[in-house]
Amino acid sequence: MTRLAYFFSFLIITSCTDVFIEDEGSINPDYPNVEKWDVLELSFQAEELEDTYSTPPLSGIFTHNGESREIDGFYDGNGNYKLRFMPSDNGLWTYKITSEIDSLNGKEGGINCIAPSSENHGKVEVQDSYHFVYSDGENYFPFGTTLYAWFWQGEDLEEQTLQTLSENAFNKVRMCVFPKNYKYCQNEPPMYPFLRGSDGQFDYNKINYEYFQHYDRRIAQLLEMGIEADVILFHPYDYVGWGFSRMGEEANKKYLRYIMARLGAYRNIWWSMANEYQLMDDFSEEDWEELGQFVKNNDPYHHLISIHNANSGFYDFTRPWITHASIQVKDVEPLNEWREDYGKPIVADEVGYEGNIPDVWGNLSAEELMYKFWVATVRGGYVSHGETFQHPEDILWWAKGGTLYGETPERIAFLKGIVEEIGAGLESKDEEEFIGENGSYILHYLGEENNEVYNYKLPDNAAYQVDLIDTWNMEIQSIGEFTNEVKMDLPSKKYLAVRMRRK
């Protein structure tokens, strides 16, 4: 049985033989084993309540070493009630179900939380104010891509998208929950998140379970691939007949509670409150504050959370419910200022897309996009990729996925490899030049400069191994060892970088 298969089983059951449990305390051989930071799914059959959506139909109190955590469950159609839980500590966990359904109320059980497998590093968290790390301490550097509507484009195209992701280095995907209606993405979804009432309008009290089951499946597949899912909870690209961006406060909170119950136990979840939040006319800043705090307070796993702006200004990312800044911006050079203003990681999730559509945001050259990636990296931040090449069937990667045609993905993978070799996020060293450092490592991006001679004063009179990086052709040339000062002739090329590693 694969990991993906057992996410959706009644219980995760494995043998208790030869299982490593750190600080295991007592274990129960009759309980199933679940990896730390993995998904336990409990599934129960019972009569269907008249209203299974307004309030959670069941919840579980999970207890470990005297500390308890309450987790909401949800209804999944056909008399099936589910509760998903992500254990965060090794050893014995017990649970007790509470529900207004007599046959479920009082059910008890437990799991043995075992050590995670080698590919399971836990969820992503903020580290050192400006960077990210997995729960187990493994570094995480976000090199994501945008795929707003990929998950409802039909089995063939969705599987092609997953195949393309598997062949590239992206480790985060920005994706909506609700369908999107916008230029180049105006095909009819095969199904919708809510059912229609007798008047033909969507009833926001009637979830379409099939829609969310399909969404679950795609989230789990991304998890299997080691890809974070940056889940966009609201967006303004709403067809006039849908109304998902205008459901009202009560319906919004019901939906948020439901989506957290369904998805919260997946360790690869990030919450994005909205894409281009200023374009959603029915929401005031007070509404966003209330909803953002609602998610923060009701997510028992404390996933990363942010909100994405249109070009009319950033949100106040100093707000305590926000973990990192998710921004749309054309120029990433002031990234130093944003770090200082907000004191949080800066992820430029939308800087324009490599492509050739007429829209100015969707016709960046590969050179322009890679310039932004490198500048943001040495400034101590991160950039997300996107691609918008014209297609006879409007299958643009940024919305629908499919196949990549651009020149940036392999060059992003090249940069990602360099950053991973550094082993920790860079800190900007110079407000004028693009120089990042981390301890004994200095990375100087020369960008569009074409100086004939390179001079750089090394710190501490120490010896450094110096390499010249052709960022466009993805070539690294060893120059040699230098002490006190680096001085060398440069080829007549743009987009060079100099890497200096202390000996």
- Per-residue tokens: 395: 């299958």
Question: Phi and psi at residue 461, in whole multiples of 5°?
Answer: 55, 30
Report d(CA 162, CA 160) in Å as an integer: 5
Decide if 343 contacts 129 (C-beta within 8 A). Answer: yes
Decide if 51 contacts 115 (C-beta within 8 A). Answer: no
pLDDT tens column, 408-466: 999 999 999 999 999 889 999 888 899 999 989 999 999 998 789 999 999 988 899 99
Look up tokens 């609602």; give the residue: 294
pLDDT tens column, 39-66: 999 999 999 999 999 999 999 999 999 9
- Per-residue tokens: 342: 């907000």
Look up tokens 């469950």; give the residue: 73
Decide if 134 contacts 122 (C-beta within 8 A). Answer: yes
Decide if 91 contacts 36 (C-beta within 8 A). Answer: no
Q: Provide CB contacts within 8 A for 149, sequence distance 6+.
A: 175, 176, 179, 180, 185, 399, 400
Average pLDDT over residues 354-374: 98
Cα distances (Å, whole numbers) of residue 247 to 205, 244, 272, 287, 447: 10, 6, 18, 13, 47
Report d(CA 24, CA 315) in Å as an integer: 44
Cα distances (Å, whole numbers) of residue 187 to 164, 183, 202, 237, 355: 22, 10, 18, 13, 21
Degrees, nearest 5: CA angle 362-365-366: 115
- Per-residue tokens: 249: 């406060």
Nearest to 266 by CA among 311, 229, 212: 229
Cα distances (Å, whole numbers) of residue 132 to 136, 281, 380, 446: 12, 33, 11, 26
DSSP string, 328-365: E-S--TTHHHHHHHH-S-EEEEES--EE-SSSGGG-B-
pLDDT tens column, 257-313: 999 999 999 999 999 999 999 999 999 999 999 999 999 999 999 999 999 999 889
The total number of residues written for the chain in this structure: 503
CA 307 to chain centre: 13
Helical pair 249-263 and 209-224, crossing angle rounded to 10 deg: 40
Decide: helix, strand or coil at residue 151.
helix
- Mean pLDDT, the chain, as a whole number? 94
pLDDT band at 250 (very low <50, low <70, confident <90, very high): very high
pLDDT at 372 over 50: yes
Nearest to 182 by CA among 362, 385, 313: 362
DSSP string, 188-257: PPSS-SEEE-TTSSEEEEEE-HHHHHHHHHHHHHHHHTT-EEEEEEE-S---TTT-TT---HHHHHHHHH
- Per-residue tokens: 170: 């992206």
Say what the pLDDT of residue 5 is: 36
For the entire predicted model, the pTM comes to 0.94
pLDDT at 245 over 50: yes
Q: What is the helix (H) or strand (E) element at residue 325, kind and residue range? A: strand 325-328
Report d(CA 357, CA 80) in Å as an integer: 46
Average pLDDT over residues 321-333: 98
Average pLDDT over residues 251-260: 98
pLDDT band at 241 (very low <50, low <70, confident <90, very high): confident
- Per-residue tokens: 503: 């000996």
Across 24-66, the runs of DSSP E, i.e. the strands, are: 33-35, 40-45, 58-64
Alpha helices by DSSP H, 35-169: 155-166
pLDDT at 236 over 60: yes
Report d(CA 77, CA 393) in Å as an integer: 35
Nearest to 54 by CA among 238, 212, 231, 255: 255
Structural domains of the chain in order of their starting residue, each with its CATH number:
3-114 (2.60.40.10), 124-188+215-424 (3.20.20.80), 439-502 (2.60.40.3950)
Say what the pLDDT of residue 25 is: 54
Say what the pLDDT of residue 233 is: 98
Decide if 85 contacts 40 (C-beta within 8 A). Answer: yes
Report d(CA 347, CA 324) in Å as an integer: 7
